[in-house]
Amino acid sequence: MSDVYLSGKYVGTVEDGEAFASSMREERRRSAISDNVNVFFNAASDEVHIEAAKGRLRRPLIVVRDGRPMLSPDHVDKLTRNELKWSDLIKQGIIEYVDAAEEENALVAFFEEELTPQHTHLELSPLTMFGLITSLVPYANFNSAQKVNTGSKNQKQAIGFYASNYMIRMDMDVNLLHNPQMPVVKSVMHDISEYAKHPAGQNLVVAVMSYKGYNMEDAIIINGGSIGRGMGRGSYYRPMIAEELRYSGGLVDEVCIPSKDVKGFKSEKDYRFLEEDGIIYPESQVKEGDVVIGKTSPPRFLSSMEQYSLSAETRRESSVIMKHGEEGIVDFVLITENSEGNKLVQVKIRDQRIPEVGDKFSSRHGQKGVVGLIVPEADMPFTASGITPDMIFSPHSIPTRMTMAHLIELIAGKTGALSGRHINGTVFDAEPEEMIRKELLSLGFRDNGLETMYNGETGEAFQVGIFVGDMYYLRLKHMVANKIHSRARGPIQLLTRQPTEGRAKEGGLRLGEMEKDTFVAHGAAMLLKERFDADRTIVPVCENCGMVAIYDEFKRRSYCQICGESAISFIEVSYAFKLILDEFKSLVLYPQLKLKTKY
Amino acid sequence: MTANILKELQAILPPGIYAAVVEAMPDKISEAKAKAIVQDIADEYKEMKVEAGESVGLVAAESIGEPGTQMTLDTFHFAGVSEMNVTMGLPRIIEILDGRKNLTTPMMEIYLKKPYSEGQDIKKVALMIRETKLKDIAAEFSINVADNRIEVQLDTGKMKELGINEVALAKALKIGAKGVHVDIKSDMLILKVKAKEGGVSDIFKLKEKAKETFVKGVRGVSQVLPVKKNNEYVILTFGSNMKKVLQIPFVDETRTTTNDVFEIEETLGIEAARQAVIDEVFKVIETQGLNVDIRHLMLVADVMCADGKVKGITRYGVVRDKSSVLARASFETPIKHIINASLYGEVDNLTSVVENVMLNQPVPVGTGLPKLVAKNKK
């Protein structure tokens, strides 16, 4: 007697759980019950679980009967001729979706040759074990599993051609690659997903060697000539948005060139790009601090008198300004209305991004690295046939990571480029390496991909063969231009008087608790004090009551609010400490400072 | 003569090093040479001392903390057999330093006296230490509702193996479950509730209680494992009860240990507990293949045991004893500390590091320590 559960709820018992489960499955294959139903027989606890709830992870498999797949070549023919649809195959019980639980009762074969009478299912293709992006990794079955994973993650960060209507779209933070290419070594997923319509990389000539140590620790060397020819070049787009908000009392924002009497008026120079409507004109070159959209807002707080006499003086400046460290060219201006009927102005800023030292590149095998040096083309090593590589990749990146596909792709790419065709590198189903090597040999190159190369500076031949070939490389969206940041002095926070945090606010890099500990461990007490002097203040303290007193700048005298005229000393503390004293006071605690001479 | 010169050293050197020097000093040596040697030793010792103002505690914390980041989290060390695993790695270090009373894997290492340490009756001896409960020797528990009693079918084979006879069992049960009438009929144990008003649910509760009744062995020791270690049989146990184990006659009480610091404190005293803290932490660091100077651990152990009781490095332990309000508040639960400080009118004299960092004053450590004193001319 087996207990039967429907979507986790007990519904009854059956005589033979296993037979019941398989008969349920047969019914499903006959389309007598919904193909969304999955049945799982748990032999250990003698229970049958029928699941029909939504949100289960399921995957399609070919049904196998008596060691023979239900899907015949005839079906495939009909599919290609569009006489049959995927859903028809499911209705006919040829393909079924199996969930995680039912999979426990199934024996699935990878290839048709492996089938035995015990098998219940056949994999559609080994490719189905990968996701869309992972199946774009060529020769992935030669890689360590973890690197296949990172390779697929890297592809998600690659910049490419994301949408053909990019000119009229207003996306946040968009990167566009100027000359994207289809990879020479591709997988069937490139065709299925129509990768040619949105490619995200370029085929580069890669040499595996070191170059003056500038490609240590995964760095890469880039050929300056290749950059000049547009390799890896892209554009970065960012919209600036202004909205005419409506406030209570019929007050509204106004997009315009602010007049001089507006509170917080910048300088004439900052508004120089604005046209009469208060919006910047296209193709103007803007730098940090320039106003992109001029805007004024009504004052924040209205006293009763001002409410009736609204003059321009009380309005305040609220223009959209280029932030610190940003620059670019105005690409496109859009004026619309938002869902609330407010006027909405969007300005797209474009910035050309040429690869520079520190920008990130990656192959499709998780072999990511940053540019370590840009070498003039004349100094790059060259082959006997005069080819200079676009990129030099460090051989030390290979052994521990075991990305064999990286090397295979290099040879395959070379062969493909020389013979002028795409190489099929689909996982588990790729053109074999031996065939590619033979073809490469027939093309007049060494079959192992090595070539004699010459030092670009001295012209001497290298004593060893250099592994050169073609590879599909991705430029990743992490660029130095978006991240570079430094500060010597700059803005502070209003509340604590400590430096601001973060690049956008031109902030400092925090010397945190553990870093502080290292100063203490060294016994560098004075250095530590000096490091934390950023929020140093001199506070008058009443010696009588121990509270912070007042210093009157006009009368040049200090007094205590509690004790009146009393002895007052000036002490040096961090402003943060003065703040916490104030916070104590707001909690009705009395933090008394007891002063005494330090020495 | 050299004895006189050596005496000078005695005042300077710690006893251990002094003894080593006396041992190593040659018998026949000229006075001048002996003096030079003594001088050298005295200088060298002075040189090796930690200088005043060195932040020893912080260096200790960093020296233990930094290798801690390299430690594999949650590693289990298998002590010979797969069913015995012990928490090692960072969780174990945290457990020790926090001074936790309930360990995840309490363990004992029981050394035996001869001839047991040579392997005689080792299985029997091990089983004597293991805690045996009634359910371990029972084949079946059943409730007789009609007669209002519990019938326990005993497993005579197991009982023989464990060396328990019926008389001893009856005796043990009388102590274990009070208010119960115990009757033994060959291999059947009958438990009857003495009080009349025993409902079915009461009997069921009694059954559950009876299952857990202690019969024999050492309470708390749930598993035993005899292991051969350096030509000697040692019993490793899962579960720890130092007090009871040390009372067993065939146990070598001089070497038997547990990994529970608090049990050591209870049975052997605070000095032993201090050593246990050092040993336990060092064991973890050693197995992880890391290198931490033992003096850092000694310092931490000293701090933990300074009050004569083992205290963890937590807000309930060592940190609570800090004199500075601000230092306590900066660690954990600041509101509690500040409110209490205001209630009692506590004064913070700003004598240690954290407070002075908060006020941006020079910390009284290293270069912040020396002060310039000048006479004020009046």
Structure tokens at A542: 């009443």
DSSP class of residue A460?
Answer: P
Phi, psi of B175 (to 5 degrees): -75, -40
Q: Name the strand (E) or helix (H) holding B60.
A: helix B56-70
DSSP code of residue A38: E
In degrees, to the nearest 5, what angle opens at C-alpha B339 toward C-alphas B333 and B342?
A: 140
B365 CB neighbours in chain A (<8 A) are 520, 523, 525
In angstroms, what separates the C-alpha of B88 from chain A's closest C-alpha? 26
What is the rounded average pLDDT of the residues B271-289? 91
* pLDDT of A307 higher than 60: no
Of the ranges A529-543, B71-85, B223-237, the best mean pLDDT one: A529-543
How many Å from the N-terminal Cα to the C-terminal Cα in chain A? Answer: 90
Is the domain of A51 the same as that of A155? no
Side chain identity, residue A506: E
By the CB < 8 Å criterion, does A518 face chain B? yes
Q: Does A573 touch chain B (CB under 8 A)?
A: yes
Judgement on whether residues A293 and A402 belong to the same structural domain of the protein? no
Q: How far is B321 from chain A (nearest CA, A)?
A: 21
Last residue of a domain, one of A292, A319, A352: A352
Nearest to A599 among B360, B365, B373 (CB): B373
Structural contact between residues A453 and A329, judged by C-beta atoms closer than 8 angstroms: no
pLDDT tens digits, one per residue of A452-478: 999 999 999 999 999 999 999 999 999
Q: Inform me whether the C-beta atom of residue A308 falls under 8 Å from chain B C-beta atoms.
A: no
The answer to whether residues A347 and A245 belong to one domain is yes
The beta strands (E) that lie in B178-310 are given as 180-185, 188-193, 214-216, 223-228, 233-238, 257-258
A6/A117 same-domain check: yes
* B220 vs A301: CA distance, rounded Å: 72
Judged by CB atoms closer than 8 Å, whether chains meet at B61 and A517 is answered as yes
- Average pLDDT value for residue range A376-385: 94
Quickly state the pLDDT bin for B178 (edges 50, 70, 90): low
Beta bridge partner(s), residue A572 = A538
Sign, CA torsion B339/B343/B347/B352: negative
Distance of CA B224 to the CA centre of its chain: 19
Closest residue on chain B to A577 (Cα) = B359
CA distance B61 to B333: 21
pLDDT at B176 over 60: no
Nearest to B233 by CA among B128, B114, B118: B118
Any CB–CB contact under 8 A between B270 and chain A?
Answer: no
Kind and range of the H or E run holding A350:
strand A343-353
My answer on whether A276 and A310 are in the same domain is yes
Residue in the structure block whose two tokens are 């992972």: A134
Residue A514, amino acid: M
Q: What is the pLDDT of residue A312?
A: 44
Asked if residue A593 has pLDDT above 60, the reply is: yes
CB nearest A533 (choices: B55, B357, B360): B360
Q: Which residues of A touch B58 (CB under 8 A)?
A: 517, 520-521
Residue A94 to residue A83: CA distance in whole angstroms: 16
Which B residues 332-351 touch A at CB under 8 Å? 338-339, 342, 347
Q: Are A330 and A280 in contact (CB under 8 A)?
A: yes
ipTM: 0.79
What pLDDT does B177 receive?
58
| A413 and A471 Cβ atoms separated by less than 8 Å | yes
Residue A494 included in any domain: no
User: CA angle, corner A394, sides to A393 and A397, nearest 5?
Assistant: 115
Cβ-defined contact of A526 to B367 (cutoff 8 Å): yes
Q: How many CB atoms lie within 10 A of CB A354?
A: 15
Question: Cβ B362–A576 below 8 Å, yes or no?
Answer: no
DSSP A161: -
Residues above pLDDT 70, as percent of chain B: 90
Question: With pLDDT > 70 as the criterion, what percentage of chain A qualifies?
Answer: 97
Pairing of strands A47-51, A2-6: parallel
Helices B261-268 & B270-287 angle (0-180, nearest 10): 150
DSSP string, A245-283: -B-TTS-B-EESPPPTTSBT---GGGGTTB-TTSBBPTT
| Two structure tokens written together for B95 | 């457990």
Closest to A97 (Cα-Cα) out of A12, A37, A164: A37
Q: CA-to-CA distance for A414 and A421, rounded, in angstroms?
A: 10
Cα separations (Å) of B200 from A513, B144, B146, B234, B324? 63, 10, 10, 47, 60
CA distance A389 to A101: 52
Does the residue A595 lie in any domain? no
Q: Letter for the amino acid at A70?
A: M
The residue with tokens 């043990």 is B172
A546 Cα distance to chain centroid: 54
Q: A241 with A346, same domain?
A: yes
Q: Can you spell out the DSSP letters for A557-593? A: EEEBTTTBS--EEEEEEEHHHHHHHHHHHHTT-----
CB contact under 8 A, A524 and B367: yes
Q: Using the beta-carbon criterion (under 8 Å), do A523 and B367 form an inter-chain contact? A: yes
For B55, the closest of A520, A576, A594 (CB atoms) is A520
Q: Are residues A228 and A366 both part of a single domain?
A: yes
Work out the minimum CA distance from A487 to partner chain B, whole angstroms.
Answer: 22
The answer to whether residue A399 scores a pLDDT higher than 90 is: yes
Active-site annotation of A, residues: 218
Provide the shortest C-alpha distance from residue A157 to chain B (in Å): 30
Lowest mean pLDDT among A31-40, A65-74, B28-37, B352-361: B28-37
B359 close contact with A: CB closer than 8 A: yes
The CATH code for residues B322-368 is: 1.10.150.390
The answer to whether residue A572 neighbours chain B at the CB level (below 8 Å) is yes
SS3 at position B179: coil
- DSSP conformation letters of B193-212: ESSS---HHHHHHHHHHHHT
For residues A215 and A243, membership in a common domain is answered with no
Mean pLDDT estimate for chain B = 83
Return all residues near B373 (Cβ < 8 A) that are at least 6 apart: A599
Q: Does the pLDDT value for residue B79 go beyond 70? A: no
Closest CA to A407 of A143, A100, A59: A143
| Residue A595 forms contact with B (CB below 8 Å) | no
Bridge partners of residue B111, in order along the sequence = B234
Peptide bond into B115 cis (omega under 30): yes
* Cross-strand pairs, A174: A237
Q: What is the CA radius of gyration of chain A?
A: 35
β-pairing, A423-424 with B223-228? unpaired
Residue A254: pLDDT band with limits 50, 70, 90: confident
Per the CB < 8 A criterion, the answer to whether B189 and B183 are in contact is yes
- Contact residues, A window 527-556, toward B, CB-based 8 Å cutoff: 527-529, 532-533, 535-536
Whole-number pLDDT of residue B124: 83
**Does residue A320 form part of some domain?**
yes
- Chain B CA closest to residue A575: B359
* Pair A254, A331 in one domain: yes
Indicate whether B15 pLDDT > 90. no
| pLDDT computed for residue A311 by the predictor | 52
Question: Which of B358, B359, B375 would best serve as a mutation to test chain A binding (most A beta carbons within 10 A)?
Answer: B359
Confidence of residue B2 (pLDDT cuts 50, 70, 90): low
Cβ separation of B358 and A532 shorter than 8 Å? no
Chain A interface includes B366 (CB < 8 A): yes
**Structure tokens, A347:** 């300005």
Partner-chain contact B58 A572, CB within 8 Å: no
pLDDT at B308 over 80: yes
Residues of A in contact with B373 (CB under 8 A): 599
Q: What are the helix (H) ranges across A318-464?
A: 404-419, 433-442
Q: Mean pLDDT over residues A183-204, rounded?
A: 93
Lowest mean pLDDT among A295-299, A365-369, B95-99: A295-299
- How far is the C-alpha of B234 from the C-alpha of B80, rounded, in Å? 12
Using a CB–CB cutoff of 8 Å, tell me whether B231 touches chain A.
Answer: no
Which residues are paired to A39 by β-bridges? A50
Note the pLDDT of residue A27. Answer: 92
> Has residue A572 been placed in a domain?
no
Query: Of A94, A124, A154, which one is at a domain's C-terminal end?
Result: A124
Question: A311: domain CATH number?
Answer: 2.40.50.150
Question: SS3 for B132?
Answer: strand
Measured distance CA(B296)–CA(B277) in Å, rounded: 12
pLDDT grade for B198, boundaries at 50, 70 and 90 = low
Mutation test of the interface with chain B: which of A519, A528, A531, A584, choosing the one with the most B Cβ atoms within 10 A? Answer: A528
Lowest mean pLDDT among A231-235, B97-101, B332-336, B374-378: B374-378
B325 neighbourhood in chain A, CB within 8 Å: none
- Taking the CA of residue A581 and the nearest CA in chain B, the distance in Å comes to 11
- Alpha-carbon distance B111 to nearest alpha carbon in chain A (angstroms): 43
Quick check: B55 and A521 CB within 8 A? yes
Q: How far apart are CA A203 and CA A181, in angstroms?
A: 7
Domain covering B132-216, topology? Gyrase A; domain 2 (3.30.1360)
Q: Is residue A456 part of a domain?
A: yes
Q: Which residues in chain A are closer than 8 Å to B343, comparing Cβ atoms? A: none
Q: How many CB atoms lie within 10 A of CB A254?
A: 16
Which of A520, A572, A577 is facing B358, going by the closest CB pair?
A577
Which residues, at least 6 apart from A352, have a Cβ–Cβ distance to it below 8 Å?
A233, A234, A235, A236
Distance between B56 CA and the closest CA of chain A, angstroms: 8
Nearest Cα neighbor of A182 from A166, A202, A168, A163 is: A202
Residue where a domain stops, chosen among A90, A124, A158: A124
Q: Which residue has the higher pLDDT, B134 or B256?
A: B256
Number of domains into which chain A is organized: 3
A102: how many CB neighbours lie within 10 A of its CB?
Answer: 25
Residues A23 and A88 placed together within one structural domain of the fold: yes
Inform me whether the pLDDT recorded for A497 exceeds 90. yes
Closest CA to A496 of B353, B358, B338: B358
Q: What angle do CA B362, B364, B369 make, to 5 degrees?
A: 100
Identify whether residues A296 and A227 lie together within a single domain.
no
- Segment A80-129, tens digit of pLDDT: 999 999 999 999 989 999 999 999 999 999 888 889 999 999 998 888 88
Shortest distance between the Cα of A437 and any Cα of chain B, in A, equals: 44
Which chain A residues contact residue B55 at CB under 8 A?
A: 520-521, 523
Q: Are residues B342 and A516, on separate chains, in Cβ contact within 8 Å? A: no
CA pair distance A274, A293, nearest whole angstrom: 7
In whole angstroms, give the CA distance from residue B250 to residue B112.
6
Q: Which token pair is B152?
A: 């326990």
Residue A539 and residue A541: Cα distance in Å, rounded? 6
DSSP character for A222?
A: E
Cβ–Cβ under 8 Å, residues A159 and A235? no
Instruction: Give, for B247, the enclosing helix (H) or strand (E).
Output: helix B242-247
* Rounded Cα gap, residues B365 and B367, in angstroms: 6
Q: Do A525 and B54 touch (CB under 8 A)?
A: no
Asked if A525 and B364 come within 8 Å (Cβ–Cβ), the reply is: yes
Q: Domain check: are A381 and A457 in the same one?
A: yes
Supply the range of the domain harboring residue A266.
237-352
The verdict on B115 touching A (C-beta cutoff 8 Å) is: no
Which residues are CB-contacts of A16 (< 8 A; sequence separation ≥ 6)?
A: A2
pLDDT at B262 over 70: yes
The yes-or-no verdict on residue B174 having pLDDT over 70 is no
Selecting from A520, A524, A574 the residue whose C-beta is nearest the C-beta of B58 gives A520
User: What band does B77 get if pLDDT is binned at 50, 70 and 90?
Assistant: low
Record: contact B360-A536, CB cut-off 8 A: yes
